[in-house]
Structure 1
Amino acid sequence: MAQTTSAPPTEVSQPLQQVLNVWNRIRVNSPIYEFLLNDVDVYHAEEGSFSAKIEVAPKHLNSKGGLHGVFSACVTDWAGGLAIATCGLESTGVSTNINVSYLSSAAVGDWLEIKGYANKVGRNLAFTTITISKLTRSGDTTLVAQGSHTKYLARR
């Protein structure tokens, strides 16, 4: 008689649960996030960083068929806030500065890996770095965009 074992249920880390809670709260109040990022998969978080992936869809493209700069800027804004959330904050602040460097492109069907890092979360300001990379068929990654995002934190 064959014995079957089932894997124990996957536990979600506290930072990941925090990120998912913040994401679920803000997405309903942000039509642009809901439109561009409704199918993003946030799958890993630890204090100070998180990872997500998304498949490039037609709505993410510019008129020339490449990844739209607005999409990368939106992801930088979104991921900066979620990186801050990994540090336990419910309110992830308002943007004071955002910068995106466009290094490559992506097309429909490509998978993007998004990584957000909270470099420093101070009393009133948080500094984050974001990378958006395309996963290649060989398993390597190509950096598509890199951003930095500074947010003002209104702590009470």
Structure 2
Amino acid sequence: MTGELQQVHKVWERTRSNSPIYGFLLDEVDVYDAEKGLVRARLQVGPRHLNSKGTLHGAFSACVTDWAGGLSIASCGLDSTGVSTDIHVNYLSTASTGDWLEIEGRANKVGNSLAFTTVSISKKSKSGLAIVAQGSHTKYVRSR
């Protein structure tokens, strides 16, 4: 396991125990890869991730954008991943129960006070990966 992945797992375990929404929606997520500024995870869609129409809930995608953006900041060595100042999600497709999601969070820039991240949520299909949602997330981070 790389140092970045160990750092991400450490921050994720602390965050999971302090955030009931993350614990509820992301309890079974598998964070399987990290390098500086990049985190990859996967999760199978279950009933708790769905809206009233039986497809992936928009609030889930926004939560994942917040979560993966924060972990991408953690992969840069930060123990505290900051507080959100802006979050934006584009919903491009959908997913349903049983679909496997691939989540990729990138820290595009981590400065002294702000960090800028992008997140993509894709589902596995027979022809490869289909993007479900893309997000951008800006966080205030403490000066190092």
- Equivalent AA in structure 2 for residue 77 of structure 1: D
Query: Which structure 1 segments of 5+ residues have no match?
Result: 1-11
Q: CA RMSD in A?
A: 0.7
Instruction: Number of aligned residue pairs: give it.
Output: 144
Are 2:123 and 1:134 equivalent residues in the alignment? yes
- Between the two proteins, what is the percent identity of the paired residues? 66
| Aligned pairs (5 A) from 1:33-52 | 33-52=22-41
Match of 2:18, SS state, is coil
Post-superposition, which runs of at least 4 consecutive aligned residues in structure 1 deviate over 6 A?
none
1:67-86 CA distances to partner (integer Å, 9 max, x unpaired)?
00000000000001000001
More strand by share: 2
Matched with 1:32 is 21
Q: CA deviation at 1:20?
A: 0.3
- Equivalent AA in structure 1 for residue 43 of structure 2: I
- Equivalent AA in structure 2 for residue 130 of structure 1: V
Distance 2:5 2:47 in 1: 29
| Aligned pairs (5 A) from 1:98-113 | 98-113=87-102
Distance 1:137 1:82 in 2: 29
Distance 1:80 1:155 in 2: 18
Q: CA deviation at 1:154?
A: 1.9
Q: Looking at CA atoms only, which structure, 1 or 2, has the larger radius of gyration? A: 1
1:31-61 CA distances to partner (integer Å, 9 max, x unpaired)?
0000000000000000010100000000000
Q: CA deviation at 1:137?
A: 2.9
Distance 1:87 1:14 in 2: 10
Matched with 1:154 is 142
1:3-30 CA distances to partner (integer Å, 9 max, x unpaired)?
xxxxxxxxx0000000000000010010
Match of 1:89, SS state, is coil
Distance 2:111 2:88 in 1: 20
Match of 1:154, SS state, is coil
Matched with 1:85 is 74
Distance 2:57 2:16 in 1: 20
Query: Which structure 2 segments of 5+ residues have no match?
Result: none
